[in-house]
Chains A and B, each alone.
Chain A
Amino acid sequence: DGGITQSPKYLFRKEGQNVTLSCEQNLNHDAMYWYRQDPGQGLRLIYYSQIVNDFQKGDIAEGYSVSREKKESFPLTVTSAQKNPTAFYLCASSPGTGSQISGNTIYFGEGSWLTVV
């Protein structure tokens, strides 16, 4: 899991501003994910991608956008439409899609803290 790099570690966003969180992995994993974590709460899936040039909405996709132009990269944009973006954002990856192999382990990056000011 040391092969997943998120940046920046801390980010401050002004209201009405879009920001992009970077996620890069060198594990040659097919699948990548973005989760949001609020204080004292669990992990909620924002978007995921099973393969390059394809991605799917998770449980809380509204106000977010992603792209998957390269296998190793899965950036997340937090748009101004996301009304409550302050949270800890975790990028993750796994070797397969889960549909091929039951129980593909998900590995997480170090996370990015986003605060609205």
Chain B
Amino acid sequence: GENVEQHPSTLSVQEGDSAVIKCTYSDSASNYFPWYKQELGKRPQLIIDIRSNVGEKKDQRIAVTLNKTAKHFSLHITETQPEDSAVYFCAARARGFLSSGSARQLTFGSGTQLTVLP
């Protein structure tokens, strides 16, 4: 099955600096890569996603890049602010079915605790 590794597990940056979180995946059939932000005690919320037919996607201060050859994708946050402090999760999913007939499901990384220091 799919295996998603996420690094680093913790990241501290000064306010205004950039933050980069990296994920690698194992299943070359994976074609959907979302990123979720989870504040303490709250639900994860989708912040950006990318599909395998594009290499980069931006939304204001957030961008995601995808390298299908190397099987890794990254989240980039520029001009970080204290409210960016949270746990960020990457995930990957392949199209298609398992041998059981079930659709493939998202596999999540272990998360990165981002702290933006004022």
Binding site for A on B (CB under 8 A): 6, 31-32, 34, 41-46, 49, 51, 89, 93, 95-97, 100, 102-106, 108-111, 113
Taking A45-B106, A98-B103, A108-B45 as given, write out 14 further A-B residue pairs in contact, using a Cβ cutoff of 8 Å, ordered by the A residue number.
Answer: A33-B105, A43-B44, A43-B89, A44-B108, A56-B100, A98-B93, A99-B96, A99-B97, A99-B104, A103-B34, A103-B51, A105-B34, A106-B106, A108-B43
Q: Give every chain B residue within 8 A of A41 (Cβ-Cβ).
A: 110-111
Residue in A33, A50, A99 with the greatest tally of chain B CB atoms within 10 Å: A99
CA distance A45 to B108 in the complex (A): 9
**Candidates B6, B32, B100, B103; contact of A99 at CB < 8 Å:** B103
Decide: B111 and A102 in contact? CB cutoff 8 A: no
Q: A42-B108, A48-B105, A56-B100 are in contact. Are A102 and B44 (CB under 8 A)?
A: no
Decide: A90 and B44 in contact? CB cutoff 8 A: yes
- What is the interface size of chain A, counting residues whose CB is below 8 A from a CB of the partner? 25
- By DSSP majority rule, is chain A's interface helix, strand, loop, or mixed? loop
Decide: B49 and A105 in contact? CB cutoff 8 A: yes
CA distance A41 to B105 in the complex (A): 18
Q: A103-B31, A103-B51 are in contact. Are A108 and B102 (CB under 8 A)?
A: no
Smallest CB–CB gap between A64 and chain B, Å? 16
A1-31 contacts to B, CB under 8 A, are 1
Smallest CB–CB gap between A5 and chain B, Å? 11
Residue in B51, B89, B103, B109 with the greatest tally of chain A CB atoms within 10 Å: B103
A53-109 contacts to B, CB under 8 A, are 56, 58, 90, 97-99, 102-103, 105-109
Whose C-beta in chain B lies nearest to the C-beta of A99?
B103
Smallest CB–CB gap between A8 and chain B, Å? 15
Smallest CB–CB gap between B91 and chain A, Å? 8
28 residue pairs A–B, Cβ–Cβ below 8 Å: A1-B45, A40-B111, A40-B113, A41-B110, A42-B89, A42-B109, A42-B110, A43-B108, A45-B106, A50-B102, A56-B102, A58-B105, A90-B44, A97-B103, A98-B103, A98-B105, A99-B96, A99-B104, A102-B31, A102-B95, A103-B49, A103-B51, A105-B49, A106-B34, A106-B46, A106-B106, A107-B46, A110-B43
